Amino acid sequence: KQEVTQIPAALSVPEGENLVLNCSFTDSAIYNLQWFRQDPGKGLTSLLLIQSSQREQTSGRLNASLDKSSGRSTLYIAASQPGDSATYLCAVSQGGSEKLVFGKGTKLTVNP
Amino acid sequence: ETGVTQSPTHLIKTRGQQVTLRCSSQSGHNTVSWYQQALGQGPQFIFQYYREEENGRGNFPPRFSGLQFPNYSSELNVNALELNDSALYLCASSNGPLGAQYFGPGTRLLVL
């Protein structure tokens, strides 16, 4: 059974700092991995999707890496801003399975 | 292009009642997945509908049921509501069962 863990559960940083969020998964036979952002009480916004054959994806100040063999992914946020404050969720899908398996998320607070 | 929409945004029910939640998929998407997110947790997969047929189900009892219509919109029905059904219900649409999933804003259900 696939399990996804995100560390830390919460993170508070000053504005402008570069930061890394971690995601690990127990079964390396994944189809893809997605990072999402969730604002309080809201739905999920897809940030980056990495296919199993890829090592990383970039979008603006965000960079996500994937190491399938070790079951790890990181989300790097450069020059953090107060508007980046949200919960960040990592989810994996496996070939032949239609469902996404989510971690519990990392709650990020960026202080002005 | 219209994104994923859900209705209603909030709902209050009492234990034992029945509820229907609705989801309109993004234009061009033929697959809808439903997730339940309890407070402080990651979303949990309920089931997926592809071309009007159930295409996978998570660990939820039969009182959770669904439908998909010819226009690919979908309903989630929950019978005999229990207190722990209180959660944010998210729907996601995709182009095919393994496509990247795009989430709606969610329906917040409170069972008293």
pLDDT single digits (tens) A68-110:
999 999 999 999 999 999 999 999 987 666 789 999 999 999 9
Residue in chain B lying closest to A100 (CA): B45
Distances A110 to A42, A78, A83, B73 between C-alpha atoms, Å? 19, 12, 8, 37
Could you say which DSSP state residue A83 is in?
G
Judged by a CB distance cut-off of 8 A, whether residue A93 touches chain B is yes
The HSE-up count of residue B24 (CA atoms within 13 Å, CB side) is 8
Residue in chain A lying closest to B41 (CA): A104
Judged by a CB distance cut-off of 8 A, whether residue A59 touches chain B is no
Residue B97: its pLDDT value, please? 83
Chain B residue numbers with beta carbons less than 8 Å from the beta carbon of A102 are 42-44
Give the C-alpha separation, B22 to A103, whole Å: 25
Residue A53 has pLDDT above 70, yes or no: yes
Residue A95: its pLDDT value, please? 66
Residue B107: its pLDDT value, please? 97
Weakly modelled stretches of chain B, pLDDT under 50: none
Residue A109: its pLDDT value, please? 97
Residue B96: its pLDDT value, please? 86
Q: Do A4 and B98 touch (CB under 8 A)?
A: no
Residue A96: its pLDDT value, please? 66
**Do residues B104 and B6 lie in contact, with contact meaning Cβ atoms separated by under 8 Å?**
yes
Q: Do B103 and A103 touch (CB under 8 A)?
A: no
Helices in A1-112 by DSSP H: which ranges? none
- Give how far B90 is from chain A: nearest CA, Å: 7
Residue in chain A lying closest to B40 (CA): A104
Q: Which tops the pLDDT comparison, A66 or A40?
A: A66
Q: Do A34 and B100 touch (CB under 8 A)?
A: yes
